[in-house]
Amino acid sequence: MTAYIPFARPEIDEDTIAAVSEVLRSGWITSGPQVQRFESELAAYFGGRPVRVFTHATAALEVAVRLASVGPGDEVIVPAMTFAASANVVALAGGRPVLVDVDLDSRNTDAARIEAAITPRTRAIMPVHFAGLPVDLEPVYALAARRGLRVIEDAAHAMGAAYRGRRIGAQGDLVAFSFHPNKNMTTIEGGALSFRDPGELERAERLRFHGIRKLPGGGMDVLEHAGKSNLSDVSAAIGIAQLARLERFNARRGALARRYLEKLGGVSGLRLPAAGHAGHAWHLFAPLVDFDALNTTRERFIQAMHARGIGVGVHYQALNLFEAFRRLGYRAGDFPNAETIGARTVTLPLHTQLRDEDVERVCEAVKASVRQAK
């Protein structure tokens, strides 16, 4: 029987499993020495920038929004094509996510679209590095500097990506990463925040642990209302091992993505994602399928792929079409490119355990599904 090919799968080796076992046997399994080591190694990876880790990227974004002083009446500019968490954290802080459209091929927004959405209430900009392809950051930061705005980079897809020769996270203002199991590296669940201003570290640590400040003599004070999102040593041990392999992971992802681009080029009804540049981390490979032109639906296309043993995802639907965002006044037709992407996107398998022959099989399945649809 032909093996099923999932669209994502983490790579966990025996050494990592042994490291987790060692942590479990140590008796110290919550935040402790492994978290400190993981943060130190992440900081080194980002060229010495301070880093703090969290239970997930959403928590890192929530803390970033708090550090940017976003509150009721404030606006944060967010791409309409991203995972809902990017905008949700703004709304949860009492602010308004102001959506902007994206480029059809890169799936990223740009400084021109952002500038057109700025109002006197804008507090911050949140560029999203979609699928691991960095946003053109220089004009975004120049705009932010002119207008006195914070920049919160949603780099959930971009661990290991680079912009103009420097790693995402080694530059910029506040940069949030995800270590979910389908990301380029994992801690099972987890995230991180890279800081330009070391003066914000103490508050970030409070915000990930109930707003508590420890006092001399073992006492404490609660300085502000906050939740709990400190990473465990178990997860950190996995992260340490994954970080050591990240460059190999990303090199393999890039090689697989280039193979997809070569094999799927010219297929009728298929629009491939932007190839980008050497700094692309290739978290996702998500072509657009013109289902209307092929006289089919995404559901039937995915069913045809599943019937051939191929896992397919959907990344993502346009935010303005979700009920929670319609209640904010957004409507169909507001963001044509994001809506086109949301209606046509399919996510093909891309992970380090994918073999070259698996890519060949996926590509043949895509071509067969397209032929079947015509």
Query: In DSSP terms, which residues pair with 53 in a beta bridge?
Result: 192
- In terms of phi and psi (left: phi > 0; alpha: psi -120 to 50; beta: otherwise), the region of 138 is alpha
Residue 356, burial from CB neighbour count under 10 angstroms (0-12, 13-18, 19+) = exposed
CA distance 125 to 74: 11
CA atoms within 13 A on the CB side of 315: 21
Structure confidence at residue 374 (pLDDT): 66
Residue 277, pLDDT score: 85
Domains annotated for the chain, with CATH where assigned, are 14-240 (3.40.640.10), 247-373 (3.90.1150.10)
CB contact at 8 A, 166 and 321: no
d(CA 199, CA 219): 23
Give this prediction's pTM: 0.97
Tokens, residue 56 = 């997930």
Phi and psi dihedrals of 331, rounded to 5?
A: -140, 160
CB 129 within 8 A of CB 108: yes
The closest alpha carbon to 160, from 251, 79, 82, belongs to: 251
Which residue type sits at 31? S
**43 and 49 Cβ atoms separated by less than 8 Å:** yes
Is-contact 46 194, C-beta < 8 A? Answer: yes
CA torsion sign for 45, 135, 132, 201 is positive
Please report the DSSP string for 325-354 in residue order. Answer: HHTTT--TTS-HHHHHHHHHB-BB---TT-
Q: How far apart are CA 13 and CA 93, in angstroms?
A: 39
Residue 95 in contact with residue 70, Cβ under 8 Å?
Answer: yes
- Which residues carry out catalysis? 183
Distance of alpha carbon 50 from alpha carbon 59, whole angstroms: 17
pLDDT along the chain (374 residues), means of 10: 91 97 96 98 98 98 98 98 98 98 98 98 98 98 98 98 98 98 98 98 98 95 98 98 98 98 96 94 98 96 96 98 98 98 98 98 95 75
- pLDDT score at 2: 83
